[in-house]
């Protein structure tokens, strides 16, 4: 699946709910599998349907260590259909975020420290849960894609934006291997 890039109209649209009868369909289940594969192949920790030019309210959060998020906690991928925010913490935390739809940049973004949510699972059942820390940040980031926003809409000052390559050195402490061209 092709990932929409910042500036694409779909990233500014509000996603449409998935109909109850559609959730269990083979076509929808195949879409979710492909969405998960697209996220994993791009080393993402989350993805929302609008990021692949699909207007349905579906997202996946799947925190795991990767080159893009070396310190991410490990979790099984979680598919959230028609997610809703029930309540969120008044306390907020700033941290760095990247986005598959905003390649090459990181943003230092303020998000609630926890969030209570409700959503449907792949079998259509309703679930309510509370997420905190990095997983809450992933959820809120992906939920933004369902309401027509990206992390760029949350930037407080321009100095909170950094090139991915600079972020890797300055913030993540990742030392890139040197190319030895002496042959």
Class of domain 9-169: alpha beta
Q: Where in the chain are the domains?
A: 9-169
**What is the tens place of the pLDDT at every residue in 95-117?**
999 999 999 999 999 999 999 99
Q: Would the pTM count as exceeding 0.95?
A: no
Q: Is 91 annotated as a binding residue?
A: no
Q: Is 12 annotated as a binding residue?
A: no
Question: Catalytic positions, please?
Answer: 142
pLDDT of res. 177: 60
3-state helix, strand, coil in the chain (%, to 5): 30, 30, 40
Q: Is 154 annotated as a binding residue?
A: no
Reduced to 3 states (helix: H, G, I; strand: E, B; else coil), residue 54 is coil
- Calculate the average pLDDT of the chain: 93
* b (16+ CB within 10 A) / e for 19-28: eeeebeeeeb
- Look up residue 102 and give its two tokens: 């905003």
Percent share of the chain, pLDDT over 70? 95
Residue 182 has pLDDT above 50, yes or no: no
pLDDT of res. 16: 98
Whether the CA torsion 150, 156, 158, 163 is positive or negative: it is negative
Q: Which of residues 133 and 72 earns the better pLDDT score?
A: 133
């Amino acid at each position: 699946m092709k990932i929409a890039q910042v500036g694409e109209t779909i990233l500014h649209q509000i996603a449409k709910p998935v109909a109850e009868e559609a959730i269990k369909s083979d076509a929808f289940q195949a879409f979710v599998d492909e969405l998960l594969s697209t996220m994993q192949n791009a080393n993402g920790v989350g993805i929302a349907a609008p990021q692949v030019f699909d207007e349905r309210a579906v997202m996946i959060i799947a925190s795991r260590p990767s080159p893009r998020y070396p310190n991410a906690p490990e979790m099984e991928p979680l598919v959230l259909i028609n997610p809703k925010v029930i309540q969120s913490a008044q306390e907020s935390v700033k941290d760095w975020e990247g986005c598959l739809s905003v390649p090459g940049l990181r943003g230092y973004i303020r998000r609630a420290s926890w969030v209570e949510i409700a959503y449907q699972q792949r079998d259509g059942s309703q679930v309510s849960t509370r997420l905190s820390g990095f997983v809450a940040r992933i959820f809120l980031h992906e939920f933004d894609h369902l309401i027509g926003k990206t992390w760029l809409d949350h930037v407080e000052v321009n100095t909170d934006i950094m090139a991915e390559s600079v972020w890797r050195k300055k913030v993540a402490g990742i030392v890139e291997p040197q190319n030895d061209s002496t042959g």
